[in-house]
């Protein structure tokens, strides 16, 4: 059966996924700067699981139910503070460089971000939802080559309510890797667009980040500017992570 490949660019598109039958669809969610990159880093450094939620109140409720868990997340790019969270500073922001082995080994981390965690929650009804990053892009491509999902949906988390350049690039990079599988099937114009955008920019991803809204914002913040170079590294992790039906992000068994 011919395979289908589609890319969703903006939050308005993933917001309506609850109305769509995803039971035969594999989703890959990208929030390159920075939620999915942070999740993969935490798991690579030994975190047991990440629990993505949409809102701060949800994170606090889940944390009360799991007293040993840590809290991570951001609003407007910065770590959530006591003033935003009823008197409790979050343990982490959304910088992958914070999630060191010393701090996360064996831990459950409840996480809420502006866009990325909402995109993941929107895909809960999918057959499988994978975490998309440049850090582990080839591992995801290998999983897709092995499993050959008939319906593949790449979900770009975006920026606030808009399309983000960096997520479009990453989706395009994945499209490029798996194109031999899906070019004979049905691919959306959005998949073609994202692949062409990546082909144009692939020579120097860090330089291209200076033209992305999120990239410019992070590069202007001294404490966070190094996140940009970190998040556009290619294939620094060799595993795939996925969202469980119960809403936990964990490494997949090989």
Coil, strand or helix at 121: helix
Q: Which two tokens stand for residue 236?
A: 């620094």
71: left (phi over 0), alpha (psi -120 to 50) or beta: beta
Helix H or strand E encompassing 5: strand 4-8
Tell me whether residue 253 is in a domain. no
Tell me whether residue 74 is in a domain. yes
Tell me whether residue 137 is in a domain. yes
Strand partners, 78: 75
Q: What is the CATH number of the domain that holds 68?
A: 3.90.1560.10
Mean pLDDT of the chain: 95
In whole angstroms, give the CA distance from residue 72 to residue 49: 12
Tell me whether residue 224 is in a domain. yes
Tell me whether residue 244 is in a domain. no
Task: Using the structure block, give the residue that is written with the tokens 């047991």.
Answer: 48
Tell me whether residue 251 is in a domain. no
pLDDT in tens, 201-250: 998 999 999 999 999 999 999 999 999 999 999 999 999 999 999 999 99
Task: Using the structure block, give the residue that is written with the tokens 């598109």.
Answer: 13
pLDDT in tens, 9-57: 999 998 888 889 999 999 999 999 999 999 999 999 999 999 999 999 9
pLDDT in tens, 4-21: 999 999 999 988 888 899
What does the pLDDT read at residue 143? 97
What's the Cα-to-Cα distance from 132 to each of 106, 166, 180, 214, rounded to whole Å? 22, 12, 19, 17
**Number of domains composing the chain:** 1
Local confidence band at 67 (pLDDT 50, 70, 90 cut-offs): confident
Tell me whether residue 205 is in a domain. yes
95 close to 38: Cβ distance less than 8 angstroms: yes
Tell me whether residue 95 is in a domain. yes
Containing structural domain, residue 107 = 4-239
What does the pLDDT read at residue 68? 92
Q: Which residues contact 128 (CB under 8 A, 6 or more apart)?
A: 26, 27, 149, 242
């Amino acid at each position: 059966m011919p395979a289908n490949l589609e890319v969703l660019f903006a939050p308005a598109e993933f917001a309506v996924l609850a109305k769509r039958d995803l039971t035969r669809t594999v989703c890959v969610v990208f929030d390159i700067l920075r939620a999915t990159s942070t999740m993969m880093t935490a798991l690579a450094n030994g975190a047991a699981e990440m629990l993505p939620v949409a809102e701060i109140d949800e994170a606090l409720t889940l944390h009360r139910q799991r007293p040993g868990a840590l809290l991570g997340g951001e609003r407007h790019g910065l770590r959530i503070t006591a003033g935003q969270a009823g008197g409790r500073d979050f343990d982490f922001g959304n910088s992958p460089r914070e999630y060191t082995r010393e701090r996360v080994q064996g831990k459950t981390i409840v996480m809420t971000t502006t866009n990325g965690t909402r995109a993941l929650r929107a895909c809960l009804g999918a057959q499988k939802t994978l975490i998309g990053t440049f850090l582990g892009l080839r591992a995801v491509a290998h999983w897709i080559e092995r499993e050959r999902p008939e319906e593949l949906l790449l979900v770009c988390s975006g920026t606030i309510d808009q399309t983000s350049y960096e997520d479009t690039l990453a989706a395009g990079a994945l499209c490029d890797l798996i194109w031999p599988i899906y070019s004979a099937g049905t691919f959306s114009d959005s998949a073609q667009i994202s692949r062409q955008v990546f082909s144009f920019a692939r020579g120097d991803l860090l330089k291209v980040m200076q033209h992305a809204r999120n990239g410019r914002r992070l590069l202007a913040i001294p404490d966070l500017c190094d996140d940009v170079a970190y998040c556009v590294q290619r294939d620094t992790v060799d595993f795939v992570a996925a969202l469980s039906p119960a809403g936990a992000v964990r490494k997949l068994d090989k």
